[in-house]
Chains A and B, each alone.
Chain A
Amino acid sequence: MTCWETIGAYAFRSLGYGERLLPKSDFTLCQQFTLIGSGLIWNIYFGVLALAFGFFLANALALAKTARSAWVRKPAEWFIFVFRGSPLFIQFFLGYQLFVLLPKNGVELWGITVHTDWLTKAWAGALFVLFLNTAAYSAEIFHGALMAVPKGDLEAADAYGITGFARFRRILWPTMLRLGWPAYTNEAIFLFHATTLVFFSSFPAFRQQGDALYYAGYFADKTYNPFIPYPIVGFYFICLTLLLTWAFSLVNRRLNRHLPSNQRARIRLRPQLIR
């Protein structure tokens, strides 16, 4: 099998296309690179979608945390506390057990049967847990940024007669994003890193369709040689991290474009590590 044939057979193996059987012996570098890269599709899928959905919930939570009414504030505070105070690994386990306990045949709601079995699959269940988790972490970042909005900005808004939602949309929110963006970049990077946990918690890799670390673990198990597959995953993740930093710095530049260059916020990598 030449390398091109291997790529043809395994490039989309993690999605269920191509060769059905994973390689069993005579492992080549090409196979390891292709399969692990194919697994990376799942990491990107989980990371991108969880971030995209989580962003909206995080904004809502950050606002709710600043609310005066305890009925709005307390639930948001508790949500953030629970998801930031406990390990993501346990959250995955708990989420999976919860989804498994849902009735198998779906729930009857107003005469319509809502199926629930898809929630026990990794693509939906793990995504849901990751979404809640990143929303909690980002909400804390955005809340901190919201608290750091300069008083003068609000006074200026008042002087111009901008109030209510317009004040939030045009004054508060852009400044909050600008102040919180460097920290949010880190959150995004470590969310992508956290996606490697998915197939090591309860969620099963259906038909051996797993993420990058799943395939690296497969190779390390088969060859009993950790010195090749793990550095390959590492290499892929370094590339992913660089790409992500670049994409987020584009947004950062746009958010800071009205400021003189010496006042702009810089993105610095600060490890938040595992959650």
Chain B
Amino acid sequence: MFSYCADPSTLDSTRWMLCYLTSGKHLLFYSSFGTVLLLLAVTAPVALAFGFGGAMAARSHNPGLRLFGKGYTAMVRGIPDIIFFMFFVIALDQALEWGLHQWRCPDWVEPIRNGLEFKVCPAAKVPPSSAPQIWHEVYGFALAVVTFAIVFGAFAANVLYGAMNAVPRAQLETAEAYGMSHRQVFRRVLVPQMWVYALPGLSNLWLILIKATPLLFLLGVKDIVYWANELGSSKTDTFAYPHGDWKLWYFLGLLVFYLAFTRLSEIVLSRLSRRLSRGQATMAGEAMRKAAA
């Protein structure tokens, strides 16, 4: 990166360190922090939407829909979520390819699942085998995002379902007494009031989502754990690095990153909680009203 890095013989240790920390691989490492933030930025709203849908389905009057909603919220309770992560990444991929196979190659005769293989016609490969490497990485990342969204959507559905039930019944009855329809009650009274009840659960969920991001590594995305593992070791697949085993320092760096991130989130979330409690018919809201008066 710096011009003096081109001549190794003149480097003293500090300048060597600077050159080392700005090597091409390290820049990739730094950009993988962006991958993690991107995952969080995409997953959080999508998971919230999934959770909202799940909670609505669990409250639905239609028994089929209700069963689906209840099943979705219950699925994460007894089973470790990491199993879902491992499962969905393969299952979604296979489901997609199977669907495309049925659509594009209707007269393909060979069985798809043949012994130990899962084989679809070339036209149904996602992404096509001729696609450049970047598309394979994007596809892998997209699969990871959808998996995260499904699993965390189930957690969010749990929280939101509880929050919807926590809104005082009298509020809804009053709205009904004013002649609002079911839909109006839901939109104008229930949803605006439920957030304050949902916030503690959702903040917890956000912190947990942050702490779940290293699992991207297990899903085969080149994230910060991958690069820390790669750069910290004394030797990679292709090159020997001019240092010993530095994995400990790289992982310490990741630890500090996560600690700072969760701490910062906690501070922001507690501010948000204060903001949302203002004017609410809860203890926190009442305390704020008294303090102001």
Does chain A bind chain B? yes
Q: A89, A90, A93, A194: which contacts B80 (Cβ < 8 A)?
A: A194
Q: B79, B82, B211, B213: which contacts A238 (Cβ < 8 A)?
A: B79
Whether B82 pairs with A274 at a CB distance below 8 angstroms is: yes
Is A53 engaged at the interface, CB distance under 8 Å to the other chain?
no
Is A241 engaged at the interface, CB distance under 8 Å to the other chain?
yes
* Shortest beta-carbon distance from B235 to chain A in Å: 15
Q: Which of A89, A241, A275 has the most CB of B within 10 A?
A: A89
* Shortest beta-carbon distance from A222 to chain B in Å: 6
Q: A90, A223, A233: which contacts B225 (Cβ < 8 A)?
A: A90
Whether A225 pairs with B77 at a CB distance below 8 angstroms is: no
Q: Residues of B within 8 Å of A, CB-based: how many?
A: 43
Whether B81 pairs with A274 at a CB distance below 8 angstroms is: yes
Report the separation of the CA atoms of residues A117 and B245 in the bound assembly, to the nearest whole angstrom: 17
* Shortest beta-carbon distance from A18 to chain B in Å: 24
Whether A90 pairs with B255 at a CB distance below 8 angstroms is: yes
Report the separation of the CA atoms of residues A272 and B117 in the bound assembly, to the nearest whole angstrom: 37
Specify the chain A residue showing the minimal Cβ separation from B258. Answer: A86
Report the separation of the CA atoms of residues A86 and B91 in the bound assembly, to the nearest whole angstrom: 29
State which of B164-172, B246-254, B271-279 sits at the interface with chain A: B246-254
Specify the chain A residue showing the minimal Cβ separation from B256. Answer: A86
Is A2 engaged at the interface, CB distance under 8 Å to the other chain?
no
Known: A90-B225, A271-B158. A224 touches B118 (CB 8 A): yes
Q: Residues of A within 8 Å of B, CB-based: how many?
A: 45
Q: Inside 8 A of A274's CB, which chain B residues have their CB? A: 81-82, 208, 211-212, 215
* Shortest beta-carbon distance from A178 to chain B in Å: 22
Is B187 engaged at the interface, CB distance under 8 Å to the other chain?
no
State which of A118-126, A153-161, A213-221 sits at the interface with chain B: A213-221
Report the separation of the CA atoms of residues A274 and B154 in the bound assembly, to the nearest whole angstrom: 13
Whether A224 pairs with B86 at a CB distance below 8 angstroms is: no
Q: Inside 8 A of B240's CB, which chain A residues have their CB? A: none
Is B83 engaged at the interface, CB distance under 8 Å to the other chain?
yes
State which of A94-102, A138-146, A164-172 sits at the interface with chain B: A94-102
Is A237 engaged at the interface, CB distance under 8 Å to the other chain?
yes
Q: Inside 8 A of A25's CB, which chain B residues have their CB? A: 116
Whether A220 pairs with B90 at a CB distance below 8 angstroms is: yes
Chain B contact residues: helix, strand, loop or mixed: helix
* Shortest beta-carbon distance from A116 to chain B in Å: 15
Whether A85 pairs with B258 at a CB distance below 8 angstroms is: yes
Whether B83 pairs with A237 at a CB distance below 8 angstroms is: yes
Whether A101 pairs with B81 at a CB distance below 8 angstroms is: no
Known: A85-B258, A90-B254, A94-B248. A196 touches B83 (CB 8 A): yes
Specify the chain A residue showing the minimal Cβ separation from B80. Answer: A193
Q: Inside 8 A of B79's CB, which chain A residues have their CB? A: 193, 233-234, 237-238, 241
Whether A230 pairs with B263 at a CB distance below 8 angstroms is: no
Q: Inside 8 A of A230's CB, which chain B residues have their CB? A: 83, 86-87
Q: Inside 8 A of B232's CB, which chain A residues have their CB? A: 97
Known: A271-B76, A271-B155. A87 touches B248 (CB 8 A): no
* Shortest beta-carbon distance from A36 to chain B in Å: 11
Whether A87 pairs with B155 at a CB distance below 8 angstroms is: no
Is A70 engaged at the interface, CB distance under 8 Å to the other chain?
no
Report the separation of the CA atoms of residues A207 and B252 in the bound assembly, to the nearest whole angstrom: 29
Is B113 engaged at the interface, CB distance under 8 Å to the other chain?
yes
Q: Inside 8 A of B285's CB, which chain A residues have their CB? A: none
Whether A87 pairs with B212 at a CB distance below 8 angstroms is: yes
Report the separation of the CA atoms of residues A237 and B218 in the bound assembly, to the nearest whole angstrom: 20
Whether B118 pairs with A90 at a CB distance below 8 angstroms is: no
Report the separation of the CA atoms of residues A186 and B94 in the bound assembly, to the nearest whole angstrom: 34
Q: A86, A193, A233, A238: which contacts B81 (Cβ < 8 A)?
A: A193
Specify the chain A residue showing the minimal Cβ separation from B214. Answer: A89
Report the separation of the CA atoms of residues A273 and B251 in the bound assembly, to the nearest whole angstrom: 22
* 9 interchain pairs, CB-CB under 8 A: A86-B258, A90-B251, A213-B83, A224-B117, A226-B90, A238-B79, A273-B81, A273-B212, A274-B208
Question: Which residues from chain B sit less than 8 Å from chain A, CB to CB?
Answer: 76-83, 86-87, 90-91, 94, 113, 116-118, 155, 158, 204-205, 208, 211-215, 217-218, 225, 229, 232, 245, 247-248, 251-252, 254-255, 258-259, 262-263
Other contacts beyond A223-B116, A273-B155: 16, CB < 8 A? A81-B259, A85-B262, A86-B259, A88-B211, A89-B217, A90-B258, A94-B252, A196-B83, A213-B80, A217-B86, A226-B87, A230-B83, A230-B86, A241-B78, A242-B78, A272-B208
The 6 A-B residue pairs with the shortest CB-CB distance in the complex, in nearest-first order? A193-B80, A238-B78, A230-B87, A87-B211, A97-B248, A241-B78
Question: Which residues from chain A sit less than 8 Å from chain B, CB to CB?
Answer: 25, 81-82, 85-91, 93-94, 97-98, 100-101, 192-194, 196-197, 200, 213, 216-217, 220, 222-227, 230, 233-234, 237-238, 241-242, 269, 271-275
